Structure 1
Amino acid sequence: MMTVVIIVAVVLVAACAVAFLYARQSGGQGMRRRFGPEYDRTVTRHDGDTKAAERELQERLERHGSLRERPLTSEARELYAERWTRIEAGFVDAPQQAVAEADALLAALARDLGFPDGEDFGEQSAALSVHHAEHVNGYRRVHAARQGDGGTEDMREALLEARGLFDVLVSNGTDRPARRHTHHAEGSGKA
């Protein structure tokens, strides 16, 4: 009987050790899956040091993982959509101003959803990266363009990429963009 108990104990210890080693080896894969392009960006920022990058991403998860986005009212969604449409329309005449307005709008939208205040861009973008890793880079690009990094084409591309984050945020995380606000010509007979 004692031999059976010892064999069972050894098998359990071995199974736990294998599970622990597997979890450690696949931990990076889990982070890579969870954060997507944000994982690669963070590894690059840490000069290829995956352990340091994973530590940073784990800290972000611990700080912001429990954040629950507050839903927007349909009125708020519509107002944000109208503001974004105006920003895009104004880009041709004033690209720097449009990018600055997009940056401010994304900060306000994220704040209204319950993310950290946009006064601390680093903290807000870190929280967004936990919940919207696939889209946060557009916000970073718009923010950098607002600071004067790049020319008009860079600003245009940043604004286009930021639209992905805007759409996800304004749609309450459903990946369905809010209805685009359109203006009809007066007297056109269209409602």
Structure 2
Amino acid sequence: MSTWLIILLIVIAAVVVLGAVGLVARQARGRRGGPSLKQRFGPEYERAVAMHDGDTKAAERELAERVERHGELRERPLEGAERQRYADLWTGVQERFVDSPKEAVAEADRLLAQLAAARGYPDGGRYEEQADALSVHHAEHVDGYRRLHRVARAGGGTEELRSALLGGRALFDDLTGTEPDRHRASAGTSATASGGSRSHTRSHTPWALHRSRPKES
């Protein structure tokens, strides 16, 4: 057998092997893709499908690309004082809402962007990329951030502004909290009642965020 024929056979065999490996990998992703992506992204999965006019495969490709780009991101932990600073800033936003709802929502949008950047996500100046990265790790709450960002720019009635701020609060709690902190908060808040330090997850929410009041003339 001549040398060139041996080389040709080796090349053909290599192509066949690579093609088979690629096919197996695609099939494996396909088996994992749909159900796992839907489970991982939850509401964000449905949003992606809607954004692609019902094209599930296109939506899953986009979501898989997000996981590939941002899945290895490791959130930078917040120091206690830093966490408390953000909690105090958010409490100030909620209190400001009573008199200046639109300005408070815009401030909350900026604060969430800053907090996400502090945790290691893309800078808030790259909002879409930041939101995509957040969707990989905080899929349940990123829609609230998207709505807050949209309302902060487009404006709306008081009820819409209130709803947007409350939606953004869910992501804020996720980003400022840790699992042990949340477990301690749910186990009891006797320290606060007895004069101890308050938990950032229990910061006061003004009553105006939960109910409307007639505006005085």
Q: After TM superposition, is the score higher than 0.5? A: yes
* C-alpha distance 51-173 of structure 1, shift in aligned 2 (>3 A): farther
* C-alpha distance 34-76 of structure 1, shift in aligned 2 (>3 A): same
User: 2:54 — aligned with what?
Assistant: 48
Name the SS for the 1:153 alignment partner: helix
Correspondence 1:178 to 2:200: yes
Name the SS for the 1:47 alignment partner: coil
Following the alignment from structure 1 to structure 2, what is the Cα–Cα distance between the partners of residues 167 and 120? Answer: 22
User: 2:195 — aligned with what?
Assistant: none
Correspondence 1:114 to 2:112: no
One-letter code aligned to 2:103 = Q
**Which structure shows the bigger proportion of residues in helix conformation?**
2
Correspondence 1:134 to 2:140: yes
- Report matched runs for 1:53-72 at 5 Å: 53-72=59-78
Name the SS for the 1:147 alignment partner: helix
User: 2:95 — aligned with what?
Assistant: 89
Compute the RMSD of aligned alpha carbons. 2.2
- After superposition, give the CA deviation of every residue in 1:51-95 in whole Å (9 maximum; x if it has no partner): 010000011001100000000000000000001111011112111
One-letter code aligned to 2:200 = A
User: 2:35 — aligned with what?
Assistant: 29
- Larger mean Cα displacement after TM superposition, 21-30 or 86-95: 21-30
User: 1:123 — aligned with what?
Assistant: 129
Q: What is the total number of aligned residue pairs between the two structures?
A: 166
User: 2:18 — aligned with what?
Assistant: none
CA shift for structure 1 position 125: 0.3
Tell me which structure has the larger Cα radius of gyration. 2
Question: Contact 1:88–1:98 at 8 Å: present in 2 too?
Answer: yes
- Report matched runs for 1:3-22 at 5 Å: none
Q: Which runs of 4+ in 1 moved over 6 A?
A: 17-20
Q: Unpaired runs of 5+ in structure 1?
A: 1-16, 183-191
Name the SS for the 2:200 alignment partner: coil
- Report matched runs for 1:147-158 at 5 Å: 147-158=153-164
Question: Contact 1:82–1:180 at 8 Å: present in 2 too?
Answer: no
* C-alpha distance 105-132 of structure 1, shift in aligned 2 (>3 A): same
Following the alignment from structure 2 to structure 1, what is the Cα–Cα distance between the partners of residues 201 and 24? Answer: 51
CA shift for structure 1 position 151: 1.9
Correspondence 1:166 to 2:179: no
Following the alignment from structure 2 to structure 1, what is the Cα–Cα distance between the partners of residues 99 and 32? Answer: 50
Question: Contact 1:42–1:53 at 8 Å: present in 2 too?
Answer: yes
CA shift for structure 1 position 172: 3.8
CA shift for structure 1 position 130: 0.3
Q: Unpaired runs of 5+ in structure 2?
A: 1-22, 183-198, 205-217
